[in-house]
Amino acid sequence: MVIVVMLLAGAFWAGTLVKAPSEAALNNAQQSVPVTFPVSMKVVDKQLALKGVVVQGQATAVNPLASPAAGSPAAGRPVVTKPGPGAGTEVTPGSFLGAIGGRPIFLLPDYVPFYRDLEIGDAGDDVAQLQKALREMGFNAVTATGKFDSVSRDAVKQIYKGDGLEPPDKPGFRWQDFWQIPGNKGVVTSSAVQASLINDTTPLVVIQTAPNVIVARASVVDADALIVGDKVRISIGGQSIESDVLSVGAFTEKVGPAGEGPGKDVTISVPREGSVWLTPEKVVSVQRTAVPEPKLAVPLVAIQHDAVGSFIEIELLGTATQEAPRFQRIEVYY
């Protein structure tokens, strides 16, 4: 009897060690089998290629009211009696801008608060700033005392004589003969010819006070790959020139300068030399000159997705257990 019981118990124990084929397959199917992919060094950046438009810089029209000397032939008539500098001429403080009704117009720094005629002995902050400007224009004998003296008067007279004009006997400084522009310097883009009548549509001269730039609309991905100072190549037809990125703007949904969709505007400088073909409103191509460097890369099939977002998992070497290796999650952003 005891032997029978022992045989039955042994048979039962042996039966527990044997699993049906279907049960073994089910258990294997429920086990997670890690699939890994190699990491390699590859060039994953695409070559930057944008479309840009040449945008003209800010310009200022010099359109003073003509105030010729009483009794002159042109009294009351705003006619150009001496043209100013031609297009392409750079102007700075002291430059002659032209004459209307026999009265010349000169450029003066924008920090001088001139509002009155000055005679020897007049004093004030406006005088001190005028004297400072005269010194910066090369009249080193002038001292910024805040009191208009004979040295200051003689310096003002030299501004007229330097352009072959006769300065007024009085006052020592005639404020209506001077004009100011933003930034104190610029390049003339147009100049009224002699005998032109100055009005709202015909200024004495137009001065561009900010340089032309190229504006290109880039996708967020392309824009984020650029930084200020990056070198790019501008080209159109058979002409090309290297330039620099000046700024990368904020995201906008407005239509781009060349009709592009939402993105970020990249502003690029127009070189002063060798860029006469880059005229306003020209559409150009923009490419980055630097060759993208190889980076760590994984195949796209290695990227996983869940409710949180996209990610990859890297195996932490040396941390595997008998059950399974350990992984670290790394988020992937597009």
Phi, psi of 130 (to 5 degrees): -65, -45
Tell me the whole-structure pTM to 2 decimals.
0.65
- Residue recorded with tokens 């992984």: 327
pLDDT score at 42: 65
Using DSSP, state whether 156 is helix, strand or coil.
helix
Q: For 49-102, write each residue's pLDDT tens digit.
A: 899 999 999 999 998 864 444 444 445 689 999 999 999 899 999 999 999 988
Answer whether residue 218 shows pLDDT above 80: yes
Q: For 273-304, write each residue's pLDDT tens digit.
A: 888 899 999 999 999 886 666 767 777 777 88
Give the fold, CATH level 3, of 59-208.
Answer: Muramoyl-pentapeptide Carboxypeptidase; domain 1 (1.10.101)
**Nearest residue to 294 via CA among 38, 39, 42:** 42
On average, the pLDDT of the chain sits at 84
Kindly give, in sequence order, each residue whose CB lies less than 8 Å from that of residue 77, ignoring residues fewer than 6 positions away: 66, 68, 101, 197
- Residue recorded with tokens 């930057």: 48
Asked if residues 53 and 59 have their Cβ atoms less than 8 Å apart, the reply is no
Kindly state the tokens that stand for 109.
């720094």
DSSP string, 165-191: -PPPSS-SB-GGGEE--TTS-EEEEEE
Query: In the chain, where are the structural domains located?
Result: 32-45+293-334, 49-57+211-288, 59-208
Superfamily of domain 49-57+211-288: Efflux pump adaptor protein, beta barrel domain (2.40.30.170)
- Residue recorded with tokens 């009483």: 70
